[in-house]
């Protein structure tokens, strides 16, 4: 028995080793993000996003009205710039290309996409859910 006790150590050491092995197996399991976990997380995110959209769509406060006005201003400015570039294309292609490059460099396209999706997409989803 003396040989076995020196080989395996005290019960506390054995418990510590067992806990370390168990935590290592847990870390190994958490190291891989399976397709099932991705689908479950995507479902949770979609539910959360829909709840946010329901909450913001039903607001009629000053803040909500201000957000809508800002969304219309951003989208209107983007559409006007794109239409101006299209109109100038026949007259001066270099100037039209400069305007389109300006849209790309300032990331106004991304801003318009985000604003359009967040503010106007929620309305479309709300109409779809009512049907």
pLDDT at 20 over 70: no
Q: Tokens for 119? A: 């503010």
Q: Tokens for 12? A: 């506390």
pLDDT at 103 over 50: yes
Q: Are 96 and 86 in contact (CB under 8 A)?
A: yes
pTM of the complete model = 0.44
Q: Are 57 and 123 in contact (CB under 8 A)?
A: yes
> Which run of H or E residues covers position 33?
none
pLDDT at 117 over 50: yes
List the domain boundaries for the chain. 60-130
Q: Are 57 and 126 in contact (CB under 8 A)?
A: yes
Q: What is the mean pLDDT of the segment spanning 103-115?
A: 83
pLDDT at 79 over 80: yes
pLDDT of residue 128: 77
pLDDT of residue 68: 79
pLDDT of residue 1: 46
């Amino acid at each position: 028995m003396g040989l076995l006790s020196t080989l395996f150590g005290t019960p506390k050491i054995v418990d510590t080793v067992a806990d370390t092995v168990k935590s290592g197996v847990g870390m190994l399991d958490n190291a891989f993000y399976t397709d099932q976990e991705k689908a479950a997380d995507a479902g949770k995110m979609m539910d959360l996003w829909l709840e946010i959209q329901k909450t913001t769509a039903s607001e009629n406060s000053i803040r909500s009205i201000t957000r809508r006005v800002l969304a219309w201003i951003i989208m209107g400015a983007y559409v006007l710039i794109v239409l101006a570039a299209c109109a100038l294309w026949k007259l001066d292609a270099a100037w039209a290309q400069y305007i389109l490059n300006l849209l790309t460099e300032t990331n106004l396209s991304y801003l318009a996409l985000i604003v359009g999706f967040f503010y106007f997409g929620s309305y479309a989803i709300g109409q779809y859910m009512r049907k």
